[in-house]
A and B are shown apart, each in its own frame.
Chain A
Amino acid sequence: MPQLAIERWAQASDSPPEAPIVLTVEGTHGPIIHAVTAAAATRGARPGARLTDARALDPALVALPADPAGDAALVERLALWAGRWSPLVEVDGDGLRLDVSGVAHLFGGKDGLVADIRARFARMGLTARIAIAPTAAAAWALARYKGDIPALPVAALRLDGDTTRTLERLGLKTVGALMNLPRLALARRFRGADNVVDALDRMLGRKDEPLTAVPSDPPPCAALRLEEPATHPEAAAQALERLIPKLVRQLEHRHLGARRLSLTGFRVDGSVAQSSVATAIPSREPKHLARLLADKAAALDPGFGFDAFALTAEWTESLGAAQESLVEEPSGERDIARLVDRLSVKLGPSHVLRPQAFESHLPERASGWVAALTTTKATELPSPPQRPPRLLDRPEAIDVIYATPEGVPRRFVWRRAVHDIARVDGPERIAPEWWRSPSSARLRDYYRVEDGDGRRYWIYREGLIGDGRGGLPNWFMHGLFG
């Protein structure tokens, strides 16, 4: 995309096309021209020149600051959008690199693919120079320079500026000239610099392009292309009805069940809308998947309209054909997992939890929680005696009256209400975990107390008098008994 910066700027502004505008970036010696309009180009401005030089040719040039970060973000978004042509897209500097092996026939051959890409970029007001070549380096060069590979200038090899200049000074102006040289001499001459032999090999396919790694097992994906952009909010839901059977068929074929699904809507303006759902156990049941995705699909913002949808199973696990039970009552594990899926999709995975045991004596650590999506089995916690069924998330400080500092409490004030302690059981002493907590952490003496009304609480005293870890011990309310 040679004119991405200026085209993006032109779309955002409403200046007439004949205005001589240049976009500049700051260089070491003053502003440098980054991109120019067609009108400015005819007046002698060209990218890479200093603004002062261009102004010397035509003082009427209008200079504006360029936005390279915004351009890069646009390229990133376009890379996602280009997923419509190929599953493997890479951002390569200011361009995109698509692996189209085995893809072109879907668009009517290589010419059809190139025409489709060009037309879709043109519809967005972007000029794209497109080249298809057997190697990535050759495609890069052909998209930027004209001619056959032997006739390309050495700059097409993508070497650094010094090396290119050295080659040109030596009279090696084309790739063809380099190809005729003995490799040994070339390798010896450019030993320390950017390796010319390597670049040549990459372009000619004698060496693999190391950046391009094709995933061996692409995730199951179903795509739907629309004839016309759809702006109706229900378009996504309707597309889902067609996508799910397609995806389920792929999953069945590969004996997989989906754990995470993402629905992507490709908008006409080159942006994408995406949302994903997760499941607790691998599933490929159309009804369940449709129910999970229905809300998410309705919430996708169509913007200027969707013209394609893709439903991808990003995370899959193997799932054979299974029957839960033949004669006995089904265990219900699948029903529970589906319930967890639905709750997690609506309320968020962090709000649907299962108990998880940790090896600790501190009550709040011993019984942790994990997202129910990530586990299907209930873990049996070792049950210490006399634990309350409810625990405050954060122990609350209480005022306690006691007969002796080491003795049992007599009365306490919690949330401004006075409770007279009628019966008390304790203490149960829990020492701090010296291997995790700071050395000033104090031990806890837990008491089960019952007030005059029969309400039963779990309170503790933090520390002892004279333990050298602070002043008088504090008291805390930690739990409620049933």
Chain B
Amino acid sequence: MSRVARGLSLVAGGAVSARPSTPAEAGAQTRVSAPLLALRARAGPLPSQGNWELPRPERPTLCELFAAHPRDGGWAGFLLAQVATAKPLLWVQDRMAILESGRIHPPGLPSQNLIHVTARDAKDALWAMEEGVRCAALSAVIGELWGDPRALDFTATRRLAVACERSGVPCWLVRLGGIANLSGARMRWRIASAPSLIHPLDGRSPGVPVWDAELFRARGAPPGRWSVAHEADRFHLVAAAGDRALGAGERLTA
């Protein structure tokens, strides 16, 4: 996608944020972490993007998440920022996903209270996910599938979605190197990494991660494309590189 097109979609997302912020939201802004405050200090006055919210399903359901590239691990940060960690997590990976993009590493995750399942193929992985979704004692179920397995059809995703909504356990189906064909998922994202924000203390090292998140199908929410970063328990809009003029005063810049 060209720069121009990306800028246009940013405007589409930004249009939602044009409303003035309420006092409660202004209060929420004061809890922003130190690096972000430093960023804002450098960027001038506080941008008026406090009331922008990332679209989320109204109740726990199945969301599908496509990695823009199998070697791009950016989606993990985007996903983990939205997962509650009070209860254990079930993380299912099929064999190819582990070979191609690595096994999960608990010290890098927000919570180590998790159960990891290595599935031989997509069929086993989907079965394990469905078993997990039926168990209300889990905080979420995450399943990574490689490619476009035959077992993953509309019926399988629809079953998962219905089971999720019945039990109230959110489920994330992560597709690595797959094509977005027919699916029963209620929200479908495509996540790519974007150049991170400038580190406030060291300009040469990576800063707060930024994702180029495209919501290309959702029930009850318009599709859109945003550049977002996660800080202080919420997502913030970020001006993508080269979009400074478009996003001036509207979004967080670095």
Contact = CB atoms under 8 A, between A and B. Distances in A.
B137 A333 contact: yes
A397 to B, nearest CB: 15
A387 interface: yes
Nearest to A352: B117
B55 interface: no
Given A417-B71, A479-B108, A390 B117 contact: no
B205 A425 contact: yes
Interface stretch (B7-15, B35-43, B128-136): B128-136
Given A346-B127, A425-B205, A389 B73 contact: yes
A452 B207 CA distance: 14
A367 B112 CA distance: 10
Interface in A352-383: 352-355, 363, 366-367, 369, 372, 378-381, 383
Contact of B116 (A346, A369, A414): A369
A466 interface: no
A393 B137 CA distance: 29
Interface residues of A, number: 54
Interface residues of B, number: 56
A372 B79 CA distance: 24
Q: Secondary structure at chain B's binding surface: helix, strand, loop or mixed?
A: mixed
Contact of A479 (B102, B112, B124, B206): B102
B195 A452 contact: yes
Contacts of B138: 336, 339
Nearest to B202: A425
Contacts of B90: 339
Given A339-B90, A390-B108, A456-B196, 14 more contacts: A339-B135, A347-B118, A351-B119, A378-B88, A423-B199, A449-B206, A450-B195, A454-B195, A454-B210, A480-B71, A480-B101, A480-B102, A481-B77, A482-B75
B238 to A, nearest CB: 11
A34 interface: no
A390 B113 contact: no
A245 B145 CA distance: 40
Contact of B105 (A338, A347, A367, A452): A367
B170 interface: no
Nearest to B89: A378
Contacts of B124: 346-347
26 contacts: A333-B137, A335-B136, A336-B115, A339-B135, A339-B137, A351-B117, A352-B116, A355-B112, A389-B76, A389-B77, A389-B104, A389-B108, A390-B101, A391-B108, A393-B102, A424-B204, A425-B205, A448-B206, A453-B72, A453-B194, A454-B193, A454-B196, A455-B69, A455-B74, A481-B206, A482-B74
Interface of A: 331-333, 335-336, 338-340, 342-343, 346-347, 351-355, 363, 366-367, 369, 372, 378-381, 383-384, 387-393, 414-415, 417, 422-425, 448-450, 452-456, 479-482
B71 A415 contact: yes
A380 B76 contact: no
A355 B206 CA distance: 28
Contact of B113 (A342, A378, A424, A425): A378
B66 interface: no
A448 B88 contact: no
Contacts of A479: 102, 105, 108
B114 interface: yes
B87 interface: yes
Contacts of A425: 202, 204-206
A441 B90 CA distance: 36
A387 B108 contact: yes
